[in-house]
Chains A and B, each alone.
Chain A
Amino acid sequence: MLSIFRILIGLLPLISMAEEVTQQVQVTAPYIELHTGPGSGYPVDYVVERDEWVSILKRRTDWFKISTRKGKEGWVILNQIRESRLADGSTLFIESLSAESFRERDWEMGFHGGQMDGAALLNLYTGYAFTPNLSAEIGFSQALGNFSSEYLVDLNLLSQPFPEWRYSPFFTLGTGLIHTSPNATLVQTEDRTDTTAHAGLGLRFYLTRRFFLRGELRRYTVFTSRNENEEFNQWKLGIGTFF
């Protein structure tokens, strides 16, 4: 039993090895510390000196798994290898995360909690920035009311007039679908799906590293099959990350 286990464990690194892309760099810092895991809480168990060549195997958050020429593996934090030398003599440069990288993001994603028409709201969204000022987003929401549950899919364009501000306001305009499903404890009424349009305004605040906070207020119009259209407000607060 134990031997099968050993074989399995022994095989695991081989499978992962196949997908790794390695990058050879020469250490320029006086020394770099190899931790046993990708976190500052893991102990340092090896030190690589200046001018030694190492291979970068993979990255997880701000930690890089490297392997020395002698085959020793360990995790190094970004700061210690970010300016190492490459084989062609140029300098490796890996940007550390800052408000500037937030401004230059391509993708963002996050989730919100809030309220819509008196019901608790949950939202998950992702967005792509075409330019620092303009992005497109898709969001999925659920509003949990006392009498019904509503599911929303929204597509929206978002304009951010001042991307360089840390508290950066934005305006949004979009369309989508709302599906209303009444709760079972009530007299059964039909499920229905309607088209919506919305306009909103909000604020992003870059917090630190890969995080930002985001709040938004939207006004929805639901184009119902009845005589009158429905209108309601939605607000939400959430946390997001970007890459």
Chain B
Amino acid sequence: MEIRHRHFLLIVGGLLAAVLAGPGSAAETIGESLRMEPVIQPEIARREIEKSEIDEEDFEAGLFVGFLSIEDFGADVVYGVRLAYHVTEGIFMEMTLGSSEAGETSYETLSGDIQLLPDEDRKYTYYNLSLGYNLLPGEVFLTDSYVFNSQFYLIGGIGSTHFAGNDEFTVNLGAGYRLLLTDWITLHLDARDHMFNSDLLGEEKTTHNLEYHAGLTLFF
């Protein structure tokens, strides 16, 4: 209402000035008076918040331990580290490093003292670069007073496995469950299939090495 009022006064003022100055420059003077005093004052200045002023927690790092079943070589304990960067609420990038030890093939066990691999080549280490998607956000009600957020995610990526003295290009696919104890402490349960081609036992084949693990991570 007030703005309209001022607008009206300006126009009247402009017209008066125009009449006084002479008929030729009426339109020009109105334009000028409008230009000189803007009708609507611009909003107060914006202040951009420095990144450091708000604590950003998009990285997640932690440890995990579980079991890895190495095809033909039995299952053994696997442990490792994980580092993730959360790009959006759904998508994250993850890097994992893991290590395990292969057991004996059933052939070695049955035959007695034959060894297919020397002991130092039984170490199984891998790293993965993966993309994950938080598919199902949810809440877990532990008691009537404790509620935890959770996320079920799908994950897959590429990486390398060092086993039996060879490095193999490895594709991993899996799914996991993240339980947020607080905003920044989480528990993971994760199941992953590590696939690579191997000719270790004669014929070349795609091996499936299944891993499941539990992990603890911190957001920072």
Contact = CB atoms under 8 A, between A and B. Distances in A.
B47 A41 contact: no
A59 B96 CA distance: 24
Interface in A96-149: 109-111, 113, 120, 122, 124, 142, 144, 149
Interface residues of A, number: 55
Interface string B38-64: 000001111111001111111000000
A62 to B, nearest CB: 7
A9 B181 CA distance: 8
A64 B183 CA distance: 12
A64 to B, nearest CB: 7
Given A23-B49, A61-B58, A239 B131 contact: yes
Contact of A86 (B47, B146, B166): B47
Contacts of A149: 160, 166-167
Interface stretch (A32-40, A160-168, A190-198, A215-223): A32-40
A144 B160 contact: yes
A142 B167 contact: yes
Contact of B49 (A12, A88, A93): A93
A58 B56 contact: yes
Given A13-B182, A60-B56, A60-B219, A38 B159 contact: no
Chain B residues touching A, majority SS: strand
Given A61-B87, A94-B49, A241 B44 contact: no
Contact of A210 (B87, B136, B139, B164): B87
A195 B204 CA distance: 34
Given A122-B129, A124-B95, A184-B121, A40 B89 contact: yes
Interface stretch (A14-22, A46-54, A226-234): A14-22
A92 interface: yes
B88 A42 contact: no
A214 interface: no
Which A-B residue pairs are the 5 nearest by beta carbons? Answer: A184-B165, A41-B137, A149-B167, A120-B169, A90-B47
Given A36-B139, A89-B44, 16 more contacts: A9-B146, A12-B181, A13-B182, A21-B54, A38-B89, A41-B137, A42-B139, A90-B45, A91-B44, A92-B47, A183-B167, A185-B164, A185-B199, A211-B87, A239-B93, A241-B93
